């Protein structure tokens, strides 16, 4: 190599002229400036100094950096690079970072000031280890590594961490493409800037020490911070940094409004500090309770509250169990137990006793064995219509109830007691008519023994089977009374035979059912039957305690004009006394007077005794439970609350729509309804009537009983009927004067009856009448089109000849062409010559126009038809 100028050489070795001049100075080669010529000797010395490639060994990395970097470093940087070991720099940089408030003075050197800084090298190493988080590249080696191309030298990398961001400017540029991939690195830059160093060092946005310290642990947090920070410096420095700024903006763009870039440094510091706030302490979870209790169910929120956990945690757990739940979702017992088991918390379901539920007083086991004594059996007589139930009861009581009955059918329900061999037996008089099925079912609940009356001449009939089923369902023993044995046609064997098919095998045939042949009419076999009743009762060990507060069931109830609400009660346990505070069904009161089955006033009634009481606030229903309470206040409270609940239930029932009945209700929307108000002399009859009426089945019509009640038909019944277009049915009752007048005024239909089947028959007719009439088409005649005339404004007039039947003006018409219906509609005009006529008979000519149809041709046939109403069967 010949002579070369200093600047040429510097260029060759990729150094600045100044560096070369300095180096020459060290080599004692005097040069004046960058234009000075270097001789061969000086050049070879420099070559040795800078190495063949133009770099000194110690400066290798810097050299590379220069090559890779697009931006020349300042002298200071050069010096730094050359003079400081990477490690030292590493230490320096971090320290500067955070407490970057000092940085203005640091210039590019960023001396280590912060105690945190001391950590950095370590962090730096950690970061290296993290590899892809390249923002950490603190070391020179890393910088020289494969990532070197993107990043400035390791030193620069360190610089960036340590706050030596002058180099970062280059870094960022160099990193360019990396930027997008390295949120971490970018973030750090951003943070640094925030630290308030912006002003001081322009390019040097040192990273914050605290963050530096946290980084390894909180990679994600840093990202967040970085994102924010990234904006500010970028904006503040955009002018200076060009690409860098943009890059940062791009990186941090989502984080902040652009305007913030202009914030004063002080604010930046504050924010920087804020960001340095240690991560929020993990929430200290409340200790779990050992046990939680619940009643019926808990919502997710409530359960979370009880467990002292966040509802979201519970929702998550449920989700893991495959249940999607919201905070308000009710959890059932199983779900609660499952969740609590997961937490290891014990669960207990609270059982609250509903004092208003009268059934619980029947289940109560307060009865002590010793205090119990034998009680009379309660017997129900069941059987098919006319098989002799009433006659049998008469025979037993020696009373002729049958004679006084309207229509010969038992309509009242009562209870009576008889004494046989010094032992009492209570009989419930349950009528055999199908209308009383409901009552019978209720009756079976209080029944100990059933006497099944089967007429020996008639055998097993539908209601016999029904009675057997009721008794079996109630697990009540059956004694079969084969009645009418006095009749010549009596065939007891046939009865026994037929009953075997229904599971009743006579003792005589190896079974365990007692069969007693009787003649109710003649009073034969009655004693034997009663003996059997006592025997079965004995086997059943029927016991009750006399010394407890009474409880039992309503046999029937009615409203008496003079006495008010009157109820026949069967005391099933305990003793009922006058003055007892009592809740009966949804009513309550104090037992004012008690009358036994013989019409005598009594002061108390023991187990299995039927008594009629007065003193109730309202009329209860047959089958209702009654319970005596210790004081009137309690009775009143419970009674009132039950009445309220009942009312509520009634309302809910009316409006309730469930998925199950939705379709049903929709169907009902198309149905017609027959509204009824049923009044009868006793409550039992009212119920039975209502049940029978509800059973009436006429397609397309629904029976709706809107009101029932015991007692005379009154004005309010009429006004209700008028308002709801209902028919009032009075059974064994009459309307009072006011009701009569009101009914006449309002045009309300009152039907009065004494025999139950007549009511049902009549209502059935009424329902059939309610249906829309059914129509059937009837062809009344045919006419043939002989000629057509087209008349403006009128259309086509068909000159026709009636070939069959007649054509009427109001008939429907079909136009047939080659026996194919081409139009169906109405006749418009029908004329004979020029006159409009109502009908034209066979054999006559006429002019016909058809409404909305003019395409009539010769040879077409008009078929006239009418819709005829057909009577329902
Ligand atoms: N020959 C004869 N006739 C009887 C006997 N028992 C009842 N009868 C008659 O059978 C008919 C019906 O008797 P009821 O006692 O009214 O029959 P029931 O089963 O109570 O009928 P319902 O009240 O309609 O359910 C009456 O005419 C009785 O006189 C009997 O043992 N022998």
ipTM of the modeled complex = 0.98
Q: Is the CB of 464 under 6 A from ligand 1?
A: no
Per-residue DSSP letter, 145: S
**pLDDT at position 604:** 92
CA triplet 789, 795, 801: central angle to 5 degrees?
45
For residue 384, the ligand 1 atom closest to its alpha carbon is 19
Q: Distance (Å, rounded) from C-alpha 472 to C-alpha 608?
A: 21
Q: Distance (Å, rounded) from C-alpha 845 to C-alpha 679?
A: 64
| Cβ burial, residue 356 (10 Å; 0-12/13-18/19+) | middle
Q: Is the CB of 483 under 6 A from ligand 1?
A: yes
Q: Distance (Å, rounded) from C-alpha 139 to C-alpha 127?
A: 10
Q: Check whether 34 is labelled as a binding-site residue.
A: no
Ligand 1: which of 429, 433, 481, 521 to mutate, judged by most atoms within 8 Å of the beta carbon? Answer: 521
Q: Distance (Å, rounded) from C-alpha 447 to C-alpha 437?
A: 15
Q: Distance (Å, rounded) from C-alpha 866 to C-alpha 869?
A: 10
Are the beta carbons of 579 and 550 closer than 8 angstroms?
Answer: no
Following CA atoms 216, 219, 224, 230 in sequence, which dihedral angle do they give, to the nearest 10 degrees?
60
Per-residue DSSP letter, 811: -
* pLDDT < 70: residue spans in the chain: 1-2, 52-284, 352-355, 363-370, 398-413, 430-445, 650-672, 698-701, 766-774, 870-873
Q: Distance (Å, rounded) from C-alpha 288 to C-alpha 306?
A: 9
Q: Distance (Å, rounded) from C-alpha 415 to C-alpha 220?
A: 86
Q: Check whether 500 is labelled as a binding-site residue.
A: no
**pLDDT at position 5:** 82
Q: Distance (Å, rounded) from C-alpha 686 to C-alpha 556?
A: 10
> Is residue 560 within a helix (H) or strand (E), and if so which, with residue range?
strand 551-560
Q: Is the CB of 47 under 6 A from ligand 1?
A: no
3 state DSSP class of 796: strand
Q: Check whether 389 is labelled as a binding-site residue.
A: yes
For residue 433, the ligand 1 atom closest to its alpha carbon is 25
What's the start-to-end Cα distance of the chain, in Å? 133
Residue nearest to atom 7 of ligand 1 (CA): 388
Going by C-beta distance under 8 Å and a sequence separation of 6 or more, which residues neighbour residue 67? Answer: 14
Q: 428 is written with which tokens?
A: 């419930």
Residue nearest to atom 14 of ligand 1 (CA): 388
**pLDDT at position 365:** 55
**pLDDT at position 293:** 86
State the CB neighbour count (10 A cutoff) for residue 126: 17
- Is-above-0.80 flag for pTM? no
**pLDDT at position 623:** 77
**pLDDT at position 369:** 60
Tokens 């709801």, located at residue = 724
Cα 387 to Cα 15, 384, 392, 460, 464, distances in angstroms: 132, 6, 9, 10, 9
> Is residue 252 within a helix (H) or strand (E), and if so which, with residue range?
helix 243-252
Residue nearest to atom 6 of ligand 1 (CA): 388
Ligand 1: which of 391, 452, 519 to mutate, judged by most atoms within 8 Å of the beta carbon? Answer: 391
**pLDDT at position 864:** 93
**pLDDT at position 447:** 83
**pLDDT at position 383:** 85
Residue nearest to atom 21 of ligand 1 (CA): 386
CA triplet 390, 392, 394: central angle to 5 degrees?
70
Are the beta carbons of 315 and 326 closer than 8 angstroms?
Answer: yes
Q: Is the CB of 463 under 6 A from ligand 1?
A: no
Ligand 1: which of 399, 428, 520 to mutate, judged by most atoms within 8 Å of the beta carbon? Answer: 520
For residue 385, the ligand 1 atom closest to its alpha carbon is 25
Q: Check whether 385 is labelled as a binding-site residue.
A: yes
**pLDDT at position 88:** 37
Q: Distance (Å, rounded) from C-alpha 45 to C-alpha 695?
A: 125
**pLDDT at position 368:** 57
Q: 16 is written with which tokens?
A: 């600045």
Q: Is the CB of 88 under 6 A from ligand 1?
A: no
Q: 786 is written with which tokens?
A: 């002989």
């Amino acid at each position: 190599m010949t002579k070369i100028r200093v600047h040429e050489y510097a260029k060759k070795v990729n150094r600045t002229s100044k560096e070369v001049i300095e180096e020459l100075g060290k080599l004692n080669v005097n040069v004046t400036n960058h234009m000075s010529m270097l001789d061969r000797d000086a050049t070879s010395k420099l070559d040795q100094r800078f190495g063949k490639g133009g770099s000194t060994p110690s400066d290798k990395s810097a050299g590379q950096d220069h090559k890779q970097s697009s931006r020349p470093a300042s002298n200071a940087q050069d010096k730094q690079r050359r003079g400081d070991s990477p490690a030292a720099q590493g230490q320096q940089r971090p320290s500067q970072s955070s407490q970057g408030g000092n940085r203005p003075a640091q210039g590019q050197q960023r001396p280590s000031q912060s105690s945190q800084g001391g950590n950095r090298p370590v962090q730096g190493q950690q970061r290296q280890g993290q590899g892809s988080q390249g923002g950490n590249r603190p070391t020179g080696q890393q910088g020289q590594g494969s990532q070197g191309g993107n990043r400035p030298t390791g030193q620069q990398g360190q610089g960036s961490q340590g706050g030596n961001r002058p180099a970062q400017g280059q870094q960022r540029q160099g990193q360019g493409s990396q930027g997008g991939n390295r949120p971490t690195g970018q973030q750090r830059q951003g943070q640094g800037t925030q630290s308030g160093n912006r002003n001081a060092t322009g390019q040097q946005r040192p990273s914050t020490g605290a963050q530096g310290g946290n980084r390894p642990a909180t990679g994600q947090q840093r990202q967040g911070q970085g994102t924010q920070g990234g904006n500010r410096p970028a904006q503040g420095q955009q002018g200076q940094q060009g690409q860098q700024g943009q890059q940062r903006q791009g990186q941090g763009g989502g984080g902040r409004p652009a305007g913030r870039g202009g914030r004063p440094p002080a604010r930046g510091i504050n924010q920087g500090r804020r960001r340095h706030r240690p991560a929020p302490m993990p929430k200290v979870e409340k200790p779990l309770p050992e046990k939680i209790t619940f009643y019926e169910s808990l919502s997710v929120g409530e359960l979370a509250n009880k467990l002292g956990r966040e509802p979201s945690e519970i929702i998550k757990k449920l989700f893991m169990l495959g249940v999607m739940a919201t905070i308000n979702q009710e959890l059932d017992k199983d779900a609660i137990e499952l969740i609590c088991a997961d937490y290891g918390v014990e669960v207990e379901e609270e059982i609250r006793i509903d004092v208003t539920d009268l059934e619980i007083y029947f289940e109560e086991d307060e009865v002590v064995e010793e205090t119990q004594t034998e009680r009379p059996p309660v017997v129900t007589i069941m059987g098919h219509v006319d098989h002799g139930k009433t006659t049998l009861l008469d025979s037993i009581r020696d009373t002729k109830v049958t004679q006084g009955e309207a229509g010969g059918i038992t309509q009242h329900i009562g209870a009576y007691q008889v004494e046989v061999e010094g032992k009492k037996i209570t009989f419930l008089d349950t009528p055999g008519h199908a209308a009383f099925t409901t009552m019978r079912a209720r009756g079976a609940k209080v029944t100990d023994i059933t006497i099944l009356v089967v007429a020996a001449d008639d055998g097993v009939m539908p209601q016999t089977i029904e009675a057997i089923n009721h008794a079996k369902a109630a697990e009540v023993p059956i004694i079969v009374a084969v009645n009418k044995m006095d009749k010549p046609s009596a065939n007891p064997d046939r009865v026994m035979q037929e009953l075997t098919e229904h599971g009743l095998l006579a003792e005589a045939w190896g079974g365990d059912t007692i069969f007693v042949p009787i003649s109710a009419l003649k009073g034969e076999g009655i004693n034997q039957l009663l003996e059997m009743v006592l025997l079965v009762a004995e086997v059943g060990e029927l016991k009750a305690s006399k010394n407890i507060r009474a409880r039992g069931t309503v046999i029937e109830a009615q409203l008496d004009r003079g006495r008010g609400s009157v109820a026949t009660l069967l005391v099933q346990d305990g003793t009922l006394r006058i003055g007892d505070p009592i809740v009966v069904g949804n009513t309550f009161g104090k037992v004012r007077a008690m009358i036994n089955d013989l019409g005598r006033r009594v002061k108390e009634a023991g187990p299995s005794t039927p008594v009629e009481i007065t003193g109730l606030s309202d009329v209860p229903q047959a089958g209702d439970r009654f319970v005596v309470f210790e004081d009137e206040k309690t009775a009143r409270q419970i009674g009132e609350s039950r009445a309220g609940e009942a009312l509520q239930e009634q309302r809910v029932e009316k409006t309730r729509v469930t998925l199950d009945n939705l379709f049903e209700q929709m169907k009902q929307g198309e149905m017609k309804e027959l509204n009824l108000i049923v009044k009868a002399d006793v409550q039992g009859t009212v119920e039975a009537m209502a049940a029978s009426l509800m059973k009436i089945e006429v397609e397309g019509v629904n029976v709706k009983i809107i009101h029932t009640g015991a007692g005379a038909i009154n004005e309010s019944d009429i006004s209700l009927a008028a308002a709801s277009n209902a028919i009032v049915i009075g059974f064994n009752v009459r309307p009072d004067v006011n009701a009569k007048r009101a009914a006449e005024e309002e045009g309300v239909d009152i039907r009065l009856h004494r025999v139950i089947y007549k009511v049902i028959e009549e209502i059935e007719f009424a329902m059939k009448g309610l249906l829309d009439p059914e129509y059937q088409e009837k062809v009344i005649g045919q006419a043939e089109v002989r000629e057509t005339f087209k008349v403006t404004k009128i259309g086509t007039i068909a000159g026709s000849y009636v070939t069959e039947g007649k054509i009427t003006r109001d008939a429907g018409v079909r136009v047939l062409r080659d026996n194919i219906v081409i139009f169906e509609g109405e006749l418009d005009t029908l004329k004979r010559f020029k006159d409009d006529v109502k009908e034209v008979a066979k054999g006559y000519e006429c002019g016909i126009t058809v409404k909305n149809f003019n395409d009539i041709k010769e040879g077409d046939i008009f078929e006239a038809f009418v819709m005829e109403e057909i009577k329902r069967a």
